[in-house]
Amino acid sequence: MRASSDHDRLALKAAVRLALKRVGGGDCFCHATRVGAPALSNYANANRDDSHMPLDVALDLDRDAGAPIVVGALARLNGYRLVPLQAAGSAPDLEDIATIARETGDVVSALATALVDGGVDSREAADIRREIEEANAALNRLAAKLTGPGEGS
């Protein structure tokens, strides 16, 4: 018996879909990794339970997406959360403001979209949780920049 469930594997595929959407789709991303667009499509396809993204391709995708979307999903499914390493010598800048505004706006947008029909279904809840994780990652990166030597994290 496998340790991962069908639900776990579908959550991974949803994370792959989200990350691929963020980088412009498989046709754009295939040039930044070692697999082609058809394989990327299969990795995101909930009906292809025999095809999952290799870790090195997930690393490429998360880096291209600018956030640990796929790796973050893996961590959550294993009962962990990702915490960014402190950015040594890095100071907050306007890009941090833009990123936080975008990521928190994505949370609000996903929640508002879900509530339009009067409730939040399980797929919508998963999407909102992913958006929250991305916003938390951006806020954690900012917090790491604001933590000086000897202050801890």
Residues 67 and 115 in one domain: no
Residues 71 and 104 in one domain: no
Residues 34 and 64 in one domain: yes
Residue 82 inside a domain? The answer is no
Residue 129's CB: how many other CB atoms inside 10 A? 15
Residue 152: what pLDDT? 47
Residue 3: what pLDDT? 95
Alpha carbons 136 and 64: distance in angstroms, whole number: 18
Q: Last residue of a domain, which of 77, 103, 128? A: 77
Q: Last residue of a domain, which of 19, 42, 77? A: 77
Phi-psi region of 150 (alpha: psi -120 to 50; beta: other; left: phi over 0): left
Residue 9: what pLDDT? 96
Residues 73 and 102 in one domain: no
Residues 16 and 68 in one domain: yes
Residues 66 and 111 in one domain: no
Classify 13 as helix, strand or coil: helix
The model's pTM is: 0.62
Residues 23 and 70 in one domain: yes
Alpha carbons 153 and 148: distance in angstroms, whole number: 9
Residue 133: what pLDDT? 85
The count of structural domains within the chain is 2
Residues 100 and 68 in one domain: no
Tens-level pLDDT at each residue, the chain (153 residues)? 999 999 999 999 999 999 999 899 999 999 999 999 999 999 999 999 999 999 999 999 999 998 899 999 999 999 998 877 755 557 888 999 999 999 999 999 999 999 998 899 998 998 998 899 889 888 878 887 876 544 444
Residue 88 inside a domain? The answer is no
Q: Last residue of a domain, which of 19, 49, 77? A: 77
Residues 103 and 59 in one domain: no
Instruction: For residue 44, count CB atoms less than 10 angstroms from its CB and return exposed for 0-12, middle for 13-18, buried for 19 or more.
Output: buried
Integer-rounded Cα radius of gyration of the chain: 17
Alpha carbons 130 and 126: distance in angstroms, whole number: 6
pLDDT in tens, 76-91: 999 998 877 755 557 8
Torsion sign over Cα 51, 10, 137, 111: positive
Residue 144: what pLDDT? 75
State in Å, rounded, how far the first CA of the chain is from the last one. Answer: 40
- Residue 37, domain extent: 6-77
Residue 99's CB: how many other CB atoms inside 10 A? 20
20 within 8 A of 40, measured Cβ to Cβ: yes
Residues 60 and 23 in one domain: yes
